Amino acid sequence: MKMIDLISAKKTGAEHSREEIDFIISGVVSGDIPDYQISAWLMAVCWQGMSLAETADLTDAMARSGAILDLSPVGPIIGDKHSTGGVGDKTTLILVPLLAAAGIPMAKLSGRGLGHTGGTIDKLESIPGFRTDLTNKQFIDQVKSIGMAIGGQTQDLAPADGKIYALRDVTATVDSIPLIAASVMSKKIAAGANLIILDVKSGAGAFMTDEAQAIKLAETMYEVGALLGKPVSAVVTDMDQPLGCAIGNTLEVIESIDTLKGEGPQDLTELCLILASLAMVKAGKAANEESARKQLLALIESGMALNYFKRLIEAQGGDASVIEHPERMVRAKHAFDFVATTNGRHGSDKWIKYIDARKVAEACKVIGGGRSRKGDAINLGVGVKLHMKVGDAVTEGKPLATIYADSEADDRLAAAVLNDAFQFSAKPSQPIKLVKKILA
C-alpha cells in the first residue's frame, strides 16, 4: 500500500477501506508518512469529503492511535460533554457537577482558550490551587471516587489527532466536517466516554458561523456515534450573542456558581437543563425530558449540585471557599461602566437588536483576556459582564455592561471594540432562539 495511491484515490472521490485508513493513521503516528503527503491527503478530503462509514472508521482509528482510558469499573455509563466553542460558554462547569449529582459519572477532558473562545482549563485555573494536569490514573481514580473529573488533554490520548490537527491548522483544512467530527469524537472515545453530549455552536461568535453547516456537523457526529456504539445527544445552539452575561475566566466561574445556586442567567440555565435532560434520558435516569428537568431543578434547589462542584474543586486541590468568597479568585483591578455611543443609535432607539458575540470576545482579548497563539499568557481576572441582552429595553444613562480591566487605558481599548458589538432598534426585537436543532 502506498500513500501516493491513497491521495490519488481520494482526489478522485474514491472511498477508503478500513485497512487504508488504518494504514494512514499508523503512518501519521509512526512518522513513516511525511507531512507533505498527509497535507495533500487532508486537502483531498476537504474537497471530496468522506462517507459516514469512512468518517466512523477514521474516528475509531484515531481513537485507537494511543491509550484508551478504561472507566468500566466506574459503571456502565460514563458521560462526557463537548462544545465546539463559543463566547461566554461555561456549561462544562455547570453540567459536570450537575450530572454527577444526578448519578451520571462525568469524565471530562478540556482544553485552553484560543482565538476568540474561552477554555474550560483557563476558567478553572482562576480558582486558587485548582489542578488540571491530572495523570490518566489520577483522572480515572477521581471519577471512581467522586463521580467526576475535569482534566487537560494528554498527549497519549488520540495522538494521531494532535498531529493531524497541527497540519490542518497550517494548511487551511480545518473546516472539513468529516475531519472535525473525527477529531472531536476520537478524543471523546479515547477518554473512555460512552455517553457523549455535544453542543454545536452556530453564529457570529462560533467557529462555524453558518447554521446549515453546524447542523450538518451535529448530524455527522450523531451518526458516527451511532455507528461506533457510543450514544450521542447533539444540540445546535445559538452563538450570535454571548451565552449568559459573563465573558472572562474569573467572571465565568462566578456565573457558573450562581447558576448552580439557581441564580444564573436565563439562557445559560436553560441550555444546561436541556443538555443535562437529554443526557439523563439517554442514561436511563429519567423516563423523559420533563421528568429529567424536575430532577435537575431539585438538585439545584437543594444545593446538591453546588455541593458537587465544591467536591470537584477540593478533589483537584482548589480553594472551595471561592464559592462563598469569589473575591479570592484572580480579579481585575478596576470595574468601569460601559454605555454605547455609536452604531447609529438615535434617541428613538430604545431596544437592543443585536450583540455581536465575537466583538464582545475581542473586547476581552485586547485587554489580555484571550490568546492569539497557543501558550500565550492571559489575564484571568479581566472581562466583560453584560447587563442587557437582545430584546431588552435600554434605559437612558444605565450601563449596558461592566468592563473589568486593570487600567483606564485598557478600559478605553475594550470600550472601543465593545461599542461596535451593540446594534439598536426603535422597535422591540424578538429574543434570539437559543436552540436550533436537537438530535437525541
Catalytic residues: 82, 161, 168, 183, 187
- Distances in Å between the alpha carbon of 382 and those of 15, 270, 411, 415? 49, 26, 10, 13
What does the block give as the cell for 274? 436541556
Among 177, 234, 171, smallest CA distance to 201 is for 234
Q: Each residue of 134-173: b (16+ CB within 10 Å) or e?
A: bebeebbebbeebbbbbbbbbeebbbbbbbbeebbeebeb
Q: What is the 3-state secondary structure (H, E, C) of the chain?
A: CCHHHHHHHHHCCCCCCHHHHHHHHHHHHHCCCCHHHHHHHHHHHHHHCCCHHHHHHHHHHHHCCCCCCCCCCCCCCCEEEEECCCCCCCHHHHHHHHHHHCCCCEEEEECCCECCECCHHHHHCCCCCCCCCCCHHHHHHHHHHHCEEEEECCCCCCHHHHHHHHHHHHCCCCCCHHHHHHHHHHHHHHCCCCEEEEEEEECCCCCCCCHHHHHHHHHHHHHHHHHCCCCEEEEEEECCCCCCCEECHHHHHHHHHHHHCCCCCHHHHHHHHHHHHHHHHHCCCCCCHHHHHHHHHHHHHCCHHHHHHHHHHHHCCCCHHHHCCHHHCCCCCEEEEECCCCCCCCCCCCEEEEECHHHHHHHHHHHHHCCCCCCCCCCCCCEEEECCCCCCECCCCCCCEEEEECCHHHHHHHHHHHCCCEEEECCCCCCCCCEEEEEC
